[in-house]
Structure 1
Amino acid sequence: MAFSSCKDKEEKEVVVSRTEGDVSILVDESFSNVVDDQIAVFQSDYPNANFKIIPGQESAILPTFLNDSVRVMISSRMLTSAEEKIYANRGIPVRASRFAIDGIALITSKENADSTITVDEVISILKGTSASNRSLVFDNAYSSTVRYFKELAGVKSLPKKGVYTLNSNDDVIKYIGLHKDYIGVVGVNWLLQGDAKGKDYMQQVRLMGVKNLQGKKGDDRFYKPTQNHLISGIYPFLRNIYIINGEGKLGLGTGFANWLVSQRGQLIVLKSGLGPHKLTSREFNLKN
């Protein structure tokens, strides 16, 4: 009986490696679609890999990562030195890898004749000094998109007039489709792969062209967040997508992080419409 009990325990032992086992991942919900695509292909190659995705706003998922509840996170920013020290004090190394480049799109109603804007004007709206009647509408007050634009404008809080927040990206798309004088702020990844609710209103909005600040790349004309402009870096509102891994072991999180920057993972990023971390060169053998 003792031998049988030991045998049962051995059979129930969970195998954890870079390609199998279980892992929980915190995901900034702005990037949930491209992460879902990556996981689907990864699991087609490694069916014993099980992922638990925990989506949320950046400010909501970061504390969970820092308190060691979940050790893998997808984010638009790297950890600060103070945040890295939290893991260092536990004796756990943290590794961050960029695997994609996302753009933040500005959208307007198709009924609006003017579909261009400068970075200067966006900053003036965020500072509350704009003389125009344009207003910005964000997905959520605690999203990574809001943080990006606050850092861009150098402000700690949003003005009471001219900048508004809703609850989701879908809410932004719907609102902009129905209100002419407002500008929506939405991640490119969400526009390309948003859910059915948002797509119902996509026909009512269009992308805006953005001209960068004088002296910076993209200051010569208005650029839209097409994939080519993301890859070339000429579109003004760009942000990196990182996988931050604090597993401290060679587990599934590490394997998935390596997969994201591999040739196959990068091809999936390219197919999603975003900018890959690294473009793989292709060689052709020409024969008569």
Structure 2
Amino acid sequence: SKEEKQAFDTKVDLPWLPAKFAADAVLFVVPKDSPLESISMEDLYKELTSDNKRLIFDGTNSSNLNFVAQKFQKNPSDLKFSIINGNENVAEQLKNYPDKIGVISYNTLSRPFGDEAQRLRSELKIIKVIKDNTEYAVTGNNLKTMTYPFTRVLYFITNEGYYGLGNGFIRFSCQQLGQIIVEKEGLQPYNIFRREVQMR
């Protein structure tokens, strides 16, 4: 946000140069047997201003809550919602609240080989988001093009003015090998590298 950038500029005597390395997203999930398949941006906002507190976030100061609030140009304190601490706990306990909608990060479910992620994927359904009369699912292509309305870019910032461990890790993460690891973890790499294959 603008305020965060100003705070960085006042404390660090370096230019603001975020190193973007992946696309993540905020997901809206329901139990697998829920009839709900999609929700519009308008309905999401109605839920966030309703005393029903149907949306469950993972904390009162979580990045998921702050990101959704920013999307609607509101402060988190202006919204109404329920809380279960931790992404995994929201996903785990959602079965106890069949009328609620969980709000979690994409990475909670995206790890292809994580036992916990595999189990949660089998129990939960990710609902599509409707914006301007178009339904958007959470797919790799929609994250890459940022057409899914709640896509967010992950980035590093550093206060190192020299090439130390922090900058070395950032460089590794943003180059091809690091981007392969990002993809293996189920996220959408920010930097797409060409692969040339010779066919004989």
Q: TM-score range by the shorter chain?
A: 0.7 to 0.9
User: Which structure ranks higher in relative contact order (CA pairs < 8 Å, sequence separation ≥ 6)?
Assistant: 2
Q: Provide the C-alpha distance between the structure 1 equivalents of 2:121 and 2:148, rounded to a whole number of angstroms.
A: 21
CA-to-aligned-CA distance 1:175-225 (integer Å, 9 cap, x gap): 22222111001111111239766765543321111112x2xxxx42x2221
CA-to-aligned-CA distance 1:29-70 (integer Å, 9 cap, x gap): xxxxxxxxxxxxxxxxxxxxxxxxxxxxxxxxxxxxxxxxxx
SS in 2 for 1:167: coil
Structure 1 unaligned segments of length 5 or more: list them. Answer: 1-76
The CA RMSD measured in Å over matched residues stands at: 2.5
Q: Is the Cα–Cα contact under 8 Å of residues 127 and 153 in structure 1 kept in the other structure?
A: no
Deviation at 1:122, TM superposition (A): 0.9
For 1:86, the equivalent position in structure 2 comes to 10
For 1:260, the equivalent position in structure 2 comes to 173
Q: 1:234 to 1:95 in 2, by over 3 A?
A: closer
Deviation at 1:286, TM superposition (A): 2.8
SS in 1 for 2:180: helix
| Percentage of pairs with the same residue | 27
Q: 1:79 to 1:158 in 2, by over 3 A?
A: closer
SS in 1 for 2:137: coil
TM score, norm. by length of structure 1: 0.62
Asked if residue 275 in structure 1 is aligned to residue 194 in structure 2, the reply is no
Structure number with bigger Rg? 1
CA-to-aligned-CA distance 1:140-194 (integer Å, 9 cap, x gap): 111111101111122222444xx11111112111222222111001111111239
Q: Provide the C-alpha distance between the structure 2 equivalents of 1:158 and 1:94, rounded to a whole number of angstroms.
A: 30
Q: Is the Cα–Cα contact under 8 Å of residues 106 and 185 in structure 1 kept in the other structure?
A: yes
Match among 100, 103, 116 for residue 25 of structure 2? 103
Q: Provide the C-alpha distance between the structure 2 equivalents of 1:260 and 1:198, rounded to a whole number of angstroms.
A: 23
Q: Residues 1-288 of structure 1: matches in 2 within 5 Å?
A: 80-88=4-12, 91-92=13-14, 95-128=17-50, 135-156=54-75, 157-160=77-80, 163-193=81-111, 201-212=120-131, 214=132, 219-220=133-134, 222-287=135-200
Q: Is the Cα–Cα contact under 8 Å of residues 141 and 166 in structure 1 kept in the other structure?
A: no
Q: Which amino acid aligns with 1:87?
A: K
Q: Provide the C-alpha distance between the structure 2 equivalents of 1:79 and 1:253, rounded to a whole number of angstroms.
A: 24
Structure 2 unaligned segments of length 5 or more: list them. Answer: none
TM score, norm. by length of structure 2: 0.86
SS in 2 for 1:245: coil
